[in-house]
Chain A
């Protein structure tokens, strides 16, 4: 019984992982692999330039969407509302901006392949178009 539970857990974890979000970047930014810590800074809007001088353009999906939440937990290891609080502080003090919120993964793919310095995410099940790269850490 315990063995079964363990295997179910392993199976569940495997499934959960396979449906995770994948980080994608514009091909102008491929030289800079990022540890999770850097990703958190980028999606918190606290790291605003790539080392080559391109401005980082951060795209996200609706913060209440499942994919955004999965992305926060699995790739950033941060609770979605903690991340939102960091943007709110910038937005409502006037000192900064939040990420650009997009309506769909199709829009995300298109904009990231077109925008130099862009970073965002799509679900694992989506195949990614040219001009952009999947970033696996």
Chain B
């Protein structure tokens, strides 16, 4: 029931009103964060390089959303990111687009054009944000860091919708465009940016997700292609790599406990690169999944344990054929990662995260094309720590 209470009219209120309505009518929203981390590795050079530890783990973003008139919105985020050996320090637009949306029932339909984020799985679109991702290093079976660059930033068009369904919300995206590729991809896949350059080719994706208070379910598909142009003749051939991946995601929440699982099944189709383009395409059917158990404790403390598994070629789950063909040890054909972590929000805007990865195998350890068994053991571990601050105006 509603109750009407008497009007109060104070000069002070009018003054406040003036100031605030100026702020509201312009419809600006500014947000951002800064995160600084530390990663130490044992029996690996993944992320940490030759020094076995690194402080070059920095992320920052400044995001702006502006609604000049009804239905129309512009959004942009400028980011700085460096991530050990995986990402050189760089400033770029994380997204920059114009959006038109319209009400449909109690939901909406809309379209975006410009640079936007891949929506694959639960975490792709905000994988670089300490506050929204579940851990400092995401489960690599689904969110591989080595191929991050070949699927994260899309330049093109995105048709989307959000609808009330049962007791929750259904949202979906259909995107077409090209991925934005940087030199990090050259280094992470080929081992050096001097050997050649990856360029963006066509990208298509579809994503649908339902969420209510207890359940979150999603299915995504993407088809992303990058082409390779060697700069040094004779080492690698021109060619392309195409990823066609399905990701199925599920999350259940019960009181203070949460279980999350995601499953990726896909094909990596390689033409050229390691063989002349006339040779037949190489099909690598890969599979990856993880299960994450999490407890939300009092005082804003979060504890989690996760098992993450990746198999590079499902026809060769233990990497035996891989070893026979390429000569590198079989453990480069798969990875099993046990992660134990804690996240703590000492206040609303601060987050301290800490985690330990106990890993067997190295299928997603960079550089992918040139494995280095001398510096990369079968059993290895990573420790990561990150302090982050968020602001919102």
Contacts and interface: CB of A to CB of B under 8 A. Distances in A.
A30 interface: yes
B106 A51 contact: yes
B12 interface: yes
B107 to A, nearest CB: 7
Contacts of A85: 131-132
A92 B16 contact: no
B106 A47 contact: yes
B64 to A, nearest CB: 10
A125 interface: no
Interface in A45-88: 46-51, 53, 55, 63-64, 78-82, 84-85, 88
A129 B103 contact: no
Given A89-B126, A98-B392, A130-B6, A48 B12 contact: no
A82 B131 CA distance: 10
B29 interface: yes
A62 to B, nearest CB: 8
Nearest to B101: A48
Nearest to B110: A95
A98 B29 CA distance: 8
Contacts, number: 140
A78 B103 CA distance: 27
B63 A94 contact: yes
Interface stretch (B17-25, B228-236, B274-282, B361-369): B17-25
B31 A136 contact: no
B62 to A, nearest CB: 11
A10 interface: no
Interface residues of A, number: 51
Contacts of A6: none
B352 to A, nearest CB: 13
A8 interface: no
Interface string A18-37: 00000000000010010001
Interface in B124-178: 125-126, 129, 131-132, 160, 162, 164, 167-169
Nearest to A85: B132
A114 B125 CA distance: 35
Most chain B Cβ neighbours within 10 Å, of A47, A91, A114: A91
B368 to A, nearest CB: 27
Residue in A78, A93, A128, A130 with the greatest tally of chain B CB atoms within 10 Å: A93
A135 B3 CA distance: 7
A81 B21 contact: no
A31 B44 CA distance: 62
B108 A48 contact: yes
B103 A95 contact: no
Interface in A80-122: 80-82, 84-85, 88-89, 91-95, 97-98, 100-102, 104, 106-107, 109-111, 114-115
B324 interface: no
B129 A88 contact: yes
Nearest to A53: B103
Contacts of B108: 48-49
A131 to B, nearest CB: 7
Contact of A134 (B5, B9, B131): B5
A41 interface: yes
A107 B65 CA distance: 22
Interface in B1-58: 1-9, 12-13, 16-17, 20-21, 24, 29, 31, 33
Contacts of A43: none
Contact of A91 (B13, B31, B160): B31
Given A30-B2, A94-B75, A94-B116, A106 B125 contact: no
A30 B390 CA distance: 35
A92 B7 contact: no
Contact of A131 (B7, B31, B65, B97): B7
A126 to B, nearest CB: 9
A15 B220 CA distance: 48
Contact of B347 (A41, A64, A79): A64
A101 B392 contact: yes
B8 A64 contact: no
Closest A-B pairs by Cβ, 3 of them: A130-B7, A93-B125, A64-B348
8 contacts: A49-B107, A49-B108, A88-B390, A93-B95, A95-B160, A111-B17, A114-B21, A129-B8
